[in-house]
Structure 1
């Protein structure tokens, strides 16, 4: 199985498991990832996702160019992949927050997957790059459109037009990642972010992510007026009352997700 997937205590963990090729993603892995994201979308018990790579060397190094079947760059570009690389880079229908646990190199499509996540925790040795131009290709699955929206323009262009690797401390300074920690602390840091998300009302989290993801192209005033389904559900929920009640009673809220 190219991807490992498990759900435990409201947390889904998705692990790209291809150590023999530094976690490169092939067609089978792409299909499995898209199936997993679709399953998570319909599972209301899942409140947060952790996406990571197997081992210590790579988060994901993108498409498996050695086993591409001889397809050209034009063929790849023409193929329908509306959700971007790994089914997550450009996905707009997943309202559950995704935390990228970056354990090593995130290159090409692997970096595009990181850009599609909401929170990023990286080991000190982790690197980020879009090296496609160095092999006559382009970051077609979200890299060119996402990076320049998430960090300053010249920093984004400097990364894409050189294909260079950005080390974790620089990625932190640019806002690509939320936290950089020693490898020995990577799991603890990831668990801390997970716990902080789980401490929040699940419907509020869904409403926030849905609003952010689906209104980024609008002005602030236009976005404010959107009546998105998750937003309306959260405002009408029992949890909306429970949160205020718990605050007044000086206790932890008992979230029901309804």
Structure 2
């Protein structure tokens, strides 16, 4: 059981691999349970690989890593679904089932993560849709929703199991600026209610507007705004 004072993420001298290629080396950082952290870097710099390592889609081969009480170095494949119940994962490209309603998309995830009682499933489904402002959209198909509404469904899906942290990979990348701003404010609300957020982004305006901590993938290393001047060269 994870103590409340423990960081939700802790990496120490980790090496992040994509296949046999080391993308990032000597990665050490912690994220506290209520923190909001931006993850930035050029395309191909290792942002997505780092996130995939955190939700155990890529193995941690070197160094130490813990997230939501799980040891990423030692986790067995049968335990990965249990880890992911403690994480909320938000993708840029939604990854919704287009042949199922919003409710059916959420029920699918609940069944896959061990929910069994239909009444509790329905109650939770309604709760998360209300939380993201889509209380009237349960019976709609994804194609009947705007891009911003689809992303809100994805966030609702990520919240189903009350995660310790949301891992978001460019969640506003495909959205118009005004819609993206609404999605970002939703992440802020979720964070204020006690869920940590690690958000990969290319959006320079967000970085200028909100003074959150920043992790930057740069030339094979991870820089932390807590300890480095990551904008020294004025490049994001």
Please tell me the TM-score bracket, short chain as reference: under 0.3
TM-score by length of 1: 0.25
Higher relative contact order (CA 8 A, sep 6+): 2
Larger Rg: 1
Greater share of residues in strand: 2
- Which structure shows the higher helix fraction? 1
